[in-house]
Amino acid sequence: MTSENGLLDHLSGERMAPPTCKRCKAVVTTVGEASLMTENAMEVEGPWREVFEGTDRQGDRSTDGQDNSSSLDLTSPDSDTPPLCKSLPVNINHHRSKGEETQATSLPSIPNPFPELCSPAHSPVLIGSPLGQGLPPSGGTHVVKVFGEDSHSRSLRVSAGATARDVCHMLVQTAHCADQESWALIELHPALGLERCLEDHETVVEVQATWPLEGDNKLLFRKNYAKYEFFKKPVLFFPEHMISDSSDVTKGMTSSELIQNLLNSGSCPEIQGFLHVRELSRKPWKRVCFFLRRSGLYCSTKGSSKEPRHLQCVADLEDLNIYTVTNSRKLYGAPSDFTFCIKPSKNRVRSRDMKLLCAENEQIRTCWTTAFRLFKYGKQLQCNYHLSQSTRKQEGMLRQGAKRCVSEASLVAMDFSGKAGGRVIENPREAQSAEQEEGQTWRTQAWFHGGVSRREAQALIEEQGLVDGMFLIRESQQHAKCFVLSLCYKLKTKHYLVIPCDEGGRKYYTMDDGVTLFIDLLQLVEFHQINRGILPVCLKHPCVRVAL
């Protein structure tokens, strides 16, 4: 390898003493005028001075063909035609040690007026990543905005680790709801028609962190009686023809035993069946046989064959969220209304990440969605269920202690409008007027929904969970002065007409052509909460809409 001076002798054809930079003590050498200047100039003291030409970008040329790249000309005041020189390349180490300070700048430092915006961990505002996906914060308090079913919202300040159950309990207290359980937070994506019920143990802030900042996603506070209903009636949620044994351990078991193993999160059976599937890049739907196992979701490339060479893995359950799809016929051209979709849980909700699946009826869709939850969360769902049951028992004991049984014969008309307290109404006409006013109090009950249509009533019941005994009462749109009792039974909504009738000069309501009479709708509901009557099941869960 030639020396530094020898290399310069070879390039310039003559040997000269290299000048020295007094500031950085670097050796400066010269080459011929034909050499290209590509490095930014350094100011040197003494007989040498710097001249900047062109722009800072290398390779820019003017229109007349001259090179306009930044160059360094070292000129001497003692010579009119100084030789051009080019410094040797210097290796710059990009990796600084931790103790080494950065080079100070001549510009004064300007303090940041909004430091909280640069620290998502200490700010209630979730700042998204370049892809639109927020990073889940690690601590502090955060603002969560929750909507009610009346489109009004309420903002809550919660901790970073607040679960969906914690937020629901806060809303129950602020909205003065009758009970604490059976409430849920629903994750809505209106533009895509997606919704899902957050599990009680899910962290709300982490769920919101996966939303794009420019989206219309929101959280909805409403009843969901079907969250853990499959623990009570598993046969209703898991049809026998969809349960099969996928391992040697479970072979020979009955379907009920397989379902019990599924609920106990032990040896999980296999869920199988045909579903219509559609990739968003393609319009037609295709009927394919799917298999759901602990290891993931699979589809068969040849009919319903389970041979490994015919099975294709569709998704891993650990990284999936399952949503029900509303208005799927209009949005996606689905063959039925019983559509659901799966998508990665760690990515923001985008249409290209969705896989749409469509079932033939509500029972099949419910079986798939419930199995997804059980296979993914396992015993965590059991813990959530037992916790809700213990809370419900405590509420029932308190409610039972406060309930008093009174007979209709012991009731007297009272007036509490005066300042002196209540008084007994002795005038029969005044007592009858007070009775009529009191008889309209059922209109303020949570289960009365006024003049909603039949379709709206079915949608309300479906949204709050297709559980046996869920009901509401509405005004009939076809029969004047009549009402309709909408009741859920076996995942379907049935409608019963409530007709007013006169008996002995007094107005009553009946559902069985006058066999059983009720003085008002409140008495009708209270009777059927204890006695089934002509209904297939007793009234258990009122369909409630709460304003936040």
CATH of the domain at 181: 3.10.20.90
Domain ends where: 353, 382, 411? Answer: 382
Is residue 425 situated within a structural domain?
A: no
Contact predicate 177/183, CB 8 Å = yes
Say yes or no: 243 and 344 in one domain.
yes
Is residue 423 situated within a structural domain?
A: no
What CATH code is carried by the domain that includes residue 252? 2.30.29.30
Nearest to 384 by CA among 201, 222, 229, 204: 201
Say yes or no: 197 and 267 in one domain.
no
**For residues 291 and 365, what is the distance between their CA atoms, to the nearest angstrom?**
14
Nearest to 384 by CA among 369, 394, 395, 374: 374
Say yes or no: 321 and 250 in one domain.
yes
**For residues 500 and 482, what is the distance between their CA atoms, to the nearest angstrom?**
6
Domain ends where: 39, 64, 88? Answer: 88
Alpha helices in 36-157, H assignment, sequence order: none
Say yes or no: 217 and 300 in one domain.
no
Q: What is the pLDDT of residue 188?
A: 93
Say yes or no: 536 and 495 in one domain.
yes
Say yes or no: 241 and 310 in one domain.
yes
**For residues 327 and 336, what is the distance between their CA atoms, to the nearest angstrom?**
10
Say yes or no: 28 and 155 in one domain.
no
Say yes or no: 461 and 533 in one domain.
yes
Q: What is the pLDDT of residue 351?
A: 64
The parent domain of residue 524 ranges over: 440-542
Is residue 100 situated within a structural domain?
A: no
Give CA separation, 46 vs 21, 31, 75, in Å: 8, 20, 11
Is residue 319 situated within a structural domain?
A: yes
Q: What is the pLDDT of residue 47?
A: 46
pTM of the model: 0.64
Is residue 114 situated within a structural domain?
A: no
What are 536's two structure tokens? 């297939």
Q: What is the pLDDT of residue 407?
A: 39
Q: What is the pLDDT of residue 350?
A: 64
Max distance between CA atoms of the chain, in angstroms, equals 132
If you write DSSP's letter for every residue of 187-204 in order, what string do you get?
A: EEETTTTEEEEPPTTSBH
Domain ends where: 197, 223, 249? Answer: 223
Is residue 313 situated within a structural domain?
A: yes
344 has which bridge partners?
320
Count of beta carbons in the 10 Å neighbourhood of residue 412: 9
Q: What is the pLDDT of residue 360?
A: 94
Q: Number of folded domains in the chain?
A: 4
Is residue 414 situated within a structural domain?
A: no
Q: How many Cα atoms occupy the beta-carbon half-sphere of 173 within 13 Å?
A: 6
Say which amino acid occupies 209. A
What CATH code is carried by the domain that includes residue 463? 3.30.505.10
Say yes or no: 218 and 302 in one domain.
no
**For residues 116 and 124, what is the distance between their CA atoms, to the nearest angstrom?**
9
**For residues 534 and 126, what is the distance between their CA atoms, to the nearest angstrom?**
54
Contact predicate 311/298, CB 8 Å = yes
Say yes or no: 315 and 352 in one domain.
yes
Instruction: Collapse the DSSP code of 88 into the 3-class scheme (helix H, G, I; strand E, B; otherwise coil) and give the result.
Output: coil
Say yes or no: 458 and 350 in one domain.
no
**Strand pairing category for 296-300 and 311-315:** antiparallel
Is residue 35 situated within a structural domain?
A: yes
Say yes or no: 353 and 260 in one domain.
yes
Q: What is the pLDDT of residue 179?
A: 72
Q: What is the pLDDT along the chain (548 residues), one digit of tens a residue?
A: 444 444 444 444 444 445 554 444 444 444 444 443 444 444 444 444 444 444 444 444 444 444 444 444 434 444 455 555 554 554 545 444 444 444 444 445 555 554 444 444 443 334 333 334 445 555 688 999 999 887 889 999 999 999 999 999 999 988 878 777 789 999 999 999 999 999 999 999 999 988 887 788 999 999 999 889 888 888 788 888 888 765 444 455 665 666 666 666 545 678 999 999 986 667 789 999 999 988 889 999 999 898 989 999 988 888 889 999 999 999 999 999 999 999 887 766 566 778 899 999 999 999 999 989 988 888 888 899 889 888 877 766 665 554 444 334 444 444 445 444 455 566 666 656 655 555 556 778 889 998 899 999 999 999 898 899 999 999 999 999 999 999 999 889 999 999 999 888 888 999 998 899 999 999 999 999 999 999 999 999 999 887 77
